[in-house]
Amino acid sequence: MTRTVTDVICPFCGTLCDDLEVVVSDDEKDLLEVYNACAIGAEKFLHSQAKDRITRPRMRQEDGSWKEISYDEAIEYTARMLTDAKKPLMYGWSSTNCEAQAVGSEIGEIVGAIMDNTATVCHGTSLIAVQDIGIPSCTLGEVKNRADRILFWGCNPAHAHPRHMSRYSIFPRGFFTGKGHTGRKVIVVDPRPTDTASLADVHLQVEQGRDYELLDALRVAFKGEKLPDFVAGIPKEKIYEAAETLKSGRFAIIFFGMGVTQSLGKNHNIDEAIAVTRDLNEYTKAAIMPMRGHYNVTGSGQVWGWLFGFPYAVDLSRGFARYNPGETTANDLLRRDEVDAVFVLGSDPGAHFPFSSVKKIYDRPSVAIDPHETPTTEVCKVHVPVAFVGVEVGGCAYRMDNVPIETRKVVEPPEGMMTDEEFLGRVLARVKEIKGV
């Protein structure tokens, strides 16, 4: 016999789809089938069942081999590492729930850690831009129900947020958008003719790294002022046309991604994209939204927001919270040798940081908390496997539009396996003992 769990939340990307159906065995130990998910989400659920999964903590030996250790030993190592360090980096916090993030924050407070999340290599520059200029935004349902102008800038949801277009942006029929995609005009700005661009009415193949100029040109075009013949490789006629398309809509939305946050210009690109949105509000209604990657990177920014007042790159090492991206951000700290221990949870910097930073993790006392075996676990001294959040344990997660949704537990984790929150709770207790607080 099997049982179907409905309304399951997908713990992969910031789209945070909440309509999955998962078939589990009667004893709730095996996950058999996944419906409604994209290919990546389905794989995430199914891989949790991999037979070769690591289920116990392990420590790297002198000779490079792994030795299995108990959770107690892993907790002791972690607590000692964090309390012995002068300035530990506690990084990740995006593929876990808000409950674990809150416990981790208290550990960081006590040991004087630098807390950074994956925004640092994703939408951190967007967060800086928001601090410069603000952000007129909305929930994804507003897009579904009202938007008739959709602009994807430097993002490729066909690959990175596969169900975004059908659930929210291009195809759905909403309250004021009964015609679905035929009532919408879609513009894609990308240096490649991506699979998303193939679904668009207009593709502007911007020269890589020249987004700022093109955004600025749009603002010029809104005002009907003169443009040179080409900007960022785009003929001016196409820019005027795109500007007119956006202005003539009833509700315009700009989604943007790594194409603008990681290219030169960085936060200034986002400043300009938000300024475009502000300008559009002089003519019609317009909103802008970052396409957040990890399913709960947004949540870690929220938790740190209410606990510390900053969304990422929070330096607690002086006993109070400081924030200075470029100084208190993970890659800058690693490259400048400013941290002396590294704790990673809910992220894989080993795969997703430039190698010069990865090498620095390898050179230091380090712990990786991750259900998977990853390049990060490969370079850390201790690897602690944990239950999959959203599969084997529930908890709160924030969607890319900041909407909080409670993820569900659908199957039991392997016998004896701890959750992020349980492990962190034990580390917190031990850290308090060691520090005498």
Strand 251-256 to 285-290 pairing: parallel
Q: Contact 171/143 with Cβ under 8 angstroms?
A: no
Considering beta carbons, is residue 11 or 413 the nearer one to another protein?
Answer: 11
Judged by CB under 8 A, which stretch of 74-82, 181-189, 255-263, 410-418 contacts another protein?
Answer: 255-263
Nearby residues of 58 by Cβ (< 8 Å), 6 or more positions away: 66, 67, 68, 69, 382, 383
Of residues 366-385, which lie at the interface with another protein (CB under 8 A)? 372-375, 378-379
Tell me, residue by residue from 3 to 42, as one string, x for binding to another protein by CB under 8 A and - for no binding. Answer: ---xx-x--x-----xx------------------xxx--
Does residue 261 touch another protein according to CB under 8 A? yes
Does residue 128 touch another protein according to CB under 8 A? yes
Nearby residues of 179 by Cβ (< 8 Å), 6 or more positions away: 173
Q: List beta partners, residue 114.
A: 89, 315
Give first-to-last CA distance, the chain, whole Å.
51
Place of tokens 């309250």: 175
Q: Which residue of 49, 139, 166, 245 would you call a contact of another protein, by CB under 8 A?
A: 139
Both structure tokens of 139: 């929930």
Does residue 248 touch another protein according to CB under 8 A? no
Considering beta carbons, is residue 130 or 389 the nearer one to another protein?
Answer: 130
Judged by CB under 8 A, which stretch of 86-94, 106-114, 226-234, 422-430 contacts another protein?
Answer: 106-114
Does residue 231 touch another protein according to CB under 8 A? no
Q: What is the DSSP string of 362-376?
A: HTS-EEEE-SS--HH
Find, among 245, 212, 239, the residue nearest to 226 by Cα. Answer: 239
Of residues 45-74, which lie at the interface with another protein (CB under 8 A)? 47, 50
Of residues 265-324, which lie at the interface with another protein (CB under 8 A)? 266-267, 278, 281, 284-285, 287, 293, 301-303, 305-311, 313, 316, 318-323
Considering beta carbons, is residue 78 or 196 the nearer one to another protein?
Answer: 196
**What is the C-alpha to C-alpha distance for residues 197 and 202, in angstroms, rounded to an integer?**
8
Of residues 174-193, which lie at the interface with another protein (CB under 8 A)? 174-176, 191-193
